[in-house]
Amino acid sequence: MALFSRNEKSSSEGRVKVDDRLRHIAFILDGNGRWARRRGMPREFGHSEGAQAFKRIVRYCGDIGIKIVTVYAFSTENWSRPKKEVDRIVSLLDEYIDGAERELTENEIRYTFLGDRSVFSPEMAARMTRLEEASAHYEKRLNIALNYGSRAEIVRAAAELAASGEPITEESFASHLYTAGCPDPDLIVRTANERRLSNFLLWQAAYSELYFTPTLWPDMQPEDVDRAVEDFYARERRFGGVTDSN
Ligand code: IPE
Ligand code: IPE
Ligand code: MG
């Protein structure tokens, strides 16, 4: 049985198609710095290229029918990098958000930001909230983890839940995470040959499939996504149970 169908027509719509088994794909984008250093360029240059890859890959995921994409763009730990680099990453993200606001009706994407936005400039934080509100009615989703750390998210959820007096259940807890209302990722892809989660979606990744590729994020192409999707469909997800084949 074909587990996913290839689109025979060569169209800009992409080659693989996904079904409801792969509703949500998350990317830990990594390798921007190495990509630039290998070219003798400053790390900031890698982040600019990484921003292009970000747009390319999000668009492609939408084309092949993935309903939810989450991208880990900046972690709570990334503040420890040199100021020049941090400033460049933040300004690239701000530019991206500005562009997303302008292209809202063209792209038809619902944006959600995961993380504490209060550390950014009031203008940028307001842009983020405006974009979330203006896009809330669209079906396809893009979650951008920005100043995100999973441990901070879990502690925040625990504090909110304790203050609310609600009964403590997995459901009530999850409803206080930044990802409230969003299904867990089916597949998490990390680029640049690192094999760790680096404080990303620790709760939500409980049963996610993990895929690692040596490709550096700025080099990521639709074909790399195809490979990850094919790999995903060749797996058997058991969620702790047993199936006919085991
Ligand atoms: C990913 O690329 C971007 C962020 C974490 C913000 P890196 O900048 O971590 O690239 P490497 O890992 O140093 O190559
Ligand atoms: C993880 O990448 C964070 C993001 C992708 C935003 P890092 O490059 O910061 O992770 P480590 O330091 O290699 O674990
Ligand atoms: Mg890195």
First to last CA, the chain: 18
- The two tokens of residue 71 are 């991208």
Instruction: Tabulate helix, strand, coil % of the chain (nearest 5).
Output: 45, 15, 40
Which residue's alpha carbon is at the smallest distance from atom 11 of ligand 2? 198
| Closest atom, ligand 1, to C-alpha of 74 | 6
Given the CA of residue 73, which atom of ligand 2 is nearest to it? 6
Given this model, what pLDDT does residue 55 score? 98
CA distance 168 to 148: 24
DSSP lists the bridge partners of residue 112 as: 143
Q: Considering the domain boundaries, does residue 203 fall inside one?
A: no
Residue 208 Cβ inside 6 Å of ligand 2? The answer reads no
Q: Tokens in use for 25?
A: 């794909």
Residue 30 is among the residues annotated as catalytic for this protein: yes
- At 37, list the tokens: 């250093």
Residue 18 shares a structural domain with residue 1 = yes
Say whether both 94 and 170 belong to one domain: no
Residue 3: the pLDDT is 47
Where is the domain boundary, 162, 184, 206? 184
Strand pairing partners for 143?
A: 70, 112
Ligand 2 pocket, mutate which of 35, 75, 195 (most atoms under 8 A from CB): 75
Let me know whether 123 and 88 are in one domain: yes
List 32, 63, 78, 184, catalytic entry? 78
**Is the Cα dihedral 3, 9, 14, 19 positive or negative?**
negative
Do 1 and 72 lie in one domain? The reply is yes
Local confidence pLDDT in tens for the 246 residues of the chain:
344 444 444 444 557 999 999 999 999 999 999 999 999 999 999 999 999 999 999 999 999 999 999 999 999 999 999 999 999 999 999 999 999 999 999 999 999 999 999 999 999 999 999 999 999 999 999 999 999 999 999 999 999 999 999 999 999 999 999 999 999 999 999 999 999 999 999 999 999 999 999 999 999 999 999 999 999 999 999 999 998 766
**Residue at 192 is within a domain:** no
- Structural domain includes residue 212: no
Do 101 and 135 belong to one domain? yes
Burial of 218 by CB count in 10 Å (0-12 exposed, 13-18 middle, 19+ buried)? Answer: buried
Residue range 84-105, pLDDT digits in tens: 999 999 999 999 999 999 999 9
Number of other residues whose CB lies within 10 A of the CB of residue 74: 22
What is d(CA 228, CA 81) in angstroms, rounded to the nearest whole number?
Answer: 30
Shared domain check, 121 and 10:
yes
Same domain, 7 and 112: yes
The dihedrals phi and psi of 167, each to the nearest 5 degrees, come to -60, 145
Q: Does 67 lie in the same domain as 144?
A: yes
Q: Are residues 123 and 167 in the same domain?
A: no
Q: Is residue 126 part of a domain?
A: yes
CA of 77 to the centre of ligand 3 (A): 11
- Residue 24 belongs to a domain with what CATH number? 3.40.1180.10
State residue 183's pLDDT score: 98
- The whole domain housing 22 covers 1-148
Question: Is 205 contained in some domain?
Answer: no
Q: Name the domain boundary from 148, 175, 205.
A: 148
Name residue 186's amino acid.
D
20's tokens: 């409801």
- The answer to whether residues 23 and 67 touch, using CB atoms and an 8 Å cutoff, is yes
Nearest alpha-carbon partner for 78 in 69, 92, 70, 90: 90
Question: 7: exposed, middle or buried (C-beta count within 10 Å: 0-12, 13-18, 19+)?
Answer: middle
Question: 173 and 63, same structural domain?
Answer: no
Catalytic, out of 30, 63, 184, 186: 30
Q: Of 184, 203, 230, at which residue does a domain stop?
A: 184
**One domain for residues 37 and 144:** yes
In a domain, 220, yes or no: no
In whole angstroms, give the CA distance from residue 194 to residue 217. Answer: 12
Q: Tell me, yes or no, whether 224 lies in a domain.
A: no
Report the domain count for the chain.
Answer: 2
30 close to ligand 2 (CB < 6 Angstrom)? yes
- Residues 162, 81 share a domain: no
Q: Is 198 a domain residue?
A: no
